[in-house]
Chains A and B, each alone.
Chain A
Amino acid sequence: MKKFEGNILFLDRSDINTDEIIPARYLTEIEKTALKPHLLEDLKLDGFDPKKDIEAASMIVTRANFGCGSSREHAPWALEINGIHAVVAVSFARIFRQNMFNCGMAAIELPEDEINTIFNLFSKDQTRMTVHIEKSEMILESKHQTRTTNFRISDFDRALIQTGGWVGYADQHY
């Protein structure tokens, strides 16, 4: 099972699409490692610098409809190759969300109020997050505060994370 802990990268915008996560010009790469330097390269967001902000991050917290657009699994792969295994958002586009769990990663939905609270309390500070998939619980810690939040995850999604993804699961069952 993948590790789900580390520093959070806050992306304060809704509808971040897969072209922004990894532009089409890198879809000719067969090796996932080649995607590493290009994660979020085309995302224009005040105060966000992909060159330095991604390095330290292992988690993303963002707004609604993350991962909309193209079906490219290069988007989760570009996250994975940068050590980012979990994205927490108000909502996800269906294909992106499924791709995350299919790769044994986590796309966790929280109510909008809770995401707002997390942004308000933590986005200014360096914040660490630990996600416990079994307990459906995540803990956020900054130098000023700690917050524990529960989330919902379906049994199927949890099973995918535990088996390391859909290929492993399907191979065992079908």
Chain B
Amino acid sequence: MGKTIAEKIFETHRVDKPFGDVDVLRLDRVFCHEITTPTAIEDLVARGKDRVFDPDKIKVVIDHVSPAKDSKTALQGKILRDWARRHGIQDFFDIGRNGVCHALFPEKGFVRPGFTIIMGDSHTCTHGSFGAFAAGVGTTDLEVGILKGVCAFKAPQTHRIDITGTLRKGVFAKDIILKLIQELTVNGATNRVIEFRGKIVDEMGMDQRMTLCNMAVEAGATCGICLPDRTTVDYLWEFIKDEYPDKETALKAFSAFASDADADYADTKTLDVSDLEPLATYGYKPDNVKPVSEMRGTRIDQVYIGSCTNGRLEDLRIAAKVLEGHTISPHVRGIVSPATPKIYSQAMAEGILKIFMDAGFCVTNPTCGACLGMSNGVLAPGEVAASTTNRNFNGRMGRGGMVHLMSPATAAASAITGEISNSCLFTENQGAGK
């Protein structure tokens, strides 16, 4: 019987199997941000174990509240900054160089196929798009990861999802993953790895694959994973070109991790997306999903385009295409947060930021703040947001606020009309009424 990519990664990283169903894995990367790491650092200090297993494998960013909004968030940043300095952690990204962790770390080339990665952040599953096993963990797992470079996981059960068909214009990875979460429900993939396969995934660029894997956790999954292919190699080439003579050799090396044809899956499912139309969430759970066309008249107060789900260059390009030549509704506040400085400056060079600004958007620095209601765009009670983020929990973007999740195209279109609306990218090809 063959093996899945997750099983192969487990096999090559196992350092212990203390009990039948538990594997302790060696970690290739431990990522850290300022919300969940300071408590781990403080605890290590209190235990007299202020050490790190390998400063080169630890990557650190301040991203959730940047710039600091008050003394407490300033202190979180300081604890992280001081710790990175005293342990010689070179890859520490402070304001001006920082960005949303799950956009920044791939962009810096820190993720490779076959890697094991943990972070004190549930959307760490995003990095599975490179063919890595990447899982969100709590502060204690993070603390042990920092100290020992290991983490314990249950043996991976993989749910293979084949995404097939032909995607209609104006329908994106975000719509696909919302559809899948609707079908699997919010705990349909708990303790499982979702392996994204099929022609649609093969055709996606890394930005869209990251969107797909990012929300795997909203179905409960430990990790979303895509098999490494030529697209993966192209993305990583600038970082690996000294390690491999050419792209073919790199691809061959990475392909060793790819799932075998006769691998054993806990479950398989085919999702034909040919009839898929743009989707949005409507309640307080990410599996409460319906077509945008059925949400007409849902008035919104704020549009947020950004986050680890949809704050990448391709997302901004698509939103700008919708916004170009339009201004947003007078009752809507538009906020766009390019996810990293590189994305920000590319968007500037391409004239995308100007389109946003001409439309009436506020362009913020790269940060997460609004997504979890901490800074840079918190909702007031009773307010409604159209957002490209990944969670619509009650109060997520501010106490008493409502969040509708959707693609950047739908969010941009909604900003223009002031209510949840399909984008011209979709409707122009579907005829009126959609």
Indicate with 1 or 0, residue by residue over A113-127, a CB within 8 angstroms of chain B CB atoms.
000000000000000
Residues of A close to B150: CB separation below 8 A: 170, 174
A52 at the interface (CB under 8 A from B): no
Residues of A close to B191: CB separation below 8 A: 94
User: Once A and B bind, how many residue pairs between them come within 8 Å at the CB atom?
Assistant: 143
Known contacts A64-B187, A154-B22: A24-B372 contact under CB 8 Å: yes
Task: Tell me if B140 and A156 are in contact (CB < 8 A).
Answer: no
Residues of B close to A30: CB separation below 8 A: 38-39, 42, 72, 75-76, 79
Chain B contacts with A in 156-214, Cβ cutoff 8 A: 186-187, 190-191
A65 at the interface (CB under 8 A from B): yes
Number of interface residues of A (CB under 8 A): 44
Whole-angstrom distance from the CB of A34 to the nearest CB of chain B? 9
Chain A CB within 10 A, most for which of B43, B73, B140, B148? B140
Residues of A close to B141: CB separation below 8 A: 98-99, 102, 166
Task: Tell me if B396 and A19 are in contact (CB < 8 A).
Answer: yes
Known contacts A68-B187, A155-B19: A73-B38 contact under CB 8 Å: no
B89 at the interface (CB under 8 A from A): no
Task: Tell me if A42 and B139 are in contact (CB < 8 A).
Answer: no
Residues of B close to A71: CB separation below 8 A: 36, 120-122, 124, 136-138
Task: Tell me if B16 and A99 are in contact (CB < 8 A).
Answer: no
Task: Tell me if A174 and B15 are in contact (CB < 8 A).
Answer: yes
Docked pose: A171 CA to B49 CA in angstroms? 10
Docked pose: A170 CA to B152 CA in angstroms? 10
Chain B contacts with A in 11-61, Cβ cutoff 8 A: 15-16, 18-22, 24, 35-36, 38-39, 42-43, 47, 49
Binding site for B on A (CB under 8 A): 15, 17, 19-20, 23-25, 27-30, 32, 42, 44, 64-65, 68-73, 76, 91-96, 98-99, 102-103, 154-156, 159, 165-167, 170-171, 173-174
- 10 nearest interchain CB pairs? A99-B138, A102-B140, A73-B138, A73-B139, A28-B72, A65-B187, A71-B122, A24-B372, A71-B136, A156-B19
